[in-house]
Amino acid sequence: MPDEHIIFLSQYRVERSEAMLLSAKRDFDAKDYSSANNRVYYCLFHAMRAVLALDQIDYKKHSAVIARFRQDYLKTDRISRSFGTLIATASIIRNRSDYEDFYICSVEDTEKLIMGAEEFLRSIKMYLLARIE
């Protein structure tokens, strides 16, 4: 079992992930879909970092976090590989929403991202709970 400082860091990152999901839902309800897409991505990102924290792994680049998470957790099925598509899609949509002029993501796609993030976060929390106990 990881030491208490590592567990605390992981839990803190889960809380940040939960806050991002809540923010995504508020933004969606306010019809601010671009911001909702951004918040969904960060929900996933902080959840991945929560898992990596238990291995005492962290990176400054988002692409490195995603690559390591994919390699160590998705490809090994420690966490369902099906989330790989969600992570990739959220990353693309977030980048396009944040940086491309006139990019509009469909309401349906944003709603799917939010539902996927809810499922991903549930799965991450279950994984962490089993690993910490």
What pLDDT shows up at residue 1?
66
80 class by beta-carbon count within 10 Å (0-12 exposed, 13-18 middle, 19+ buried): middle
This prediction's pTM: 0.95
Look up the domain containing 42 and give its range.
Answer: 4-132
Domain at 128, CATH number: 1.20.120.330
What is the per-residue pLDDT across 13-49, written as a single tens digit (0 to 9) for each? 999 999 999 999 999 999 999 999 999 999 999 999 9
What pLDDT shows up at residue 133?
79
The structural domain count of the chain equals 1
Q: Taking the CA of residue 83 as centre, how many other CA atoms within 13 Å lie in the half-sphere pointing to its CB?
A: 28
Spell out, as residue ranges, where the chain has pLDDT lower than 70. Answer: 1
Q: Taking the CA of residue 97 as centre, how many other CA atoms within 13 Å lie in the half-sphere pointing to its CB?
A: 21
User: Residue 61 corresponds to which tokens in the numbers above?
Assistant: 């680049």
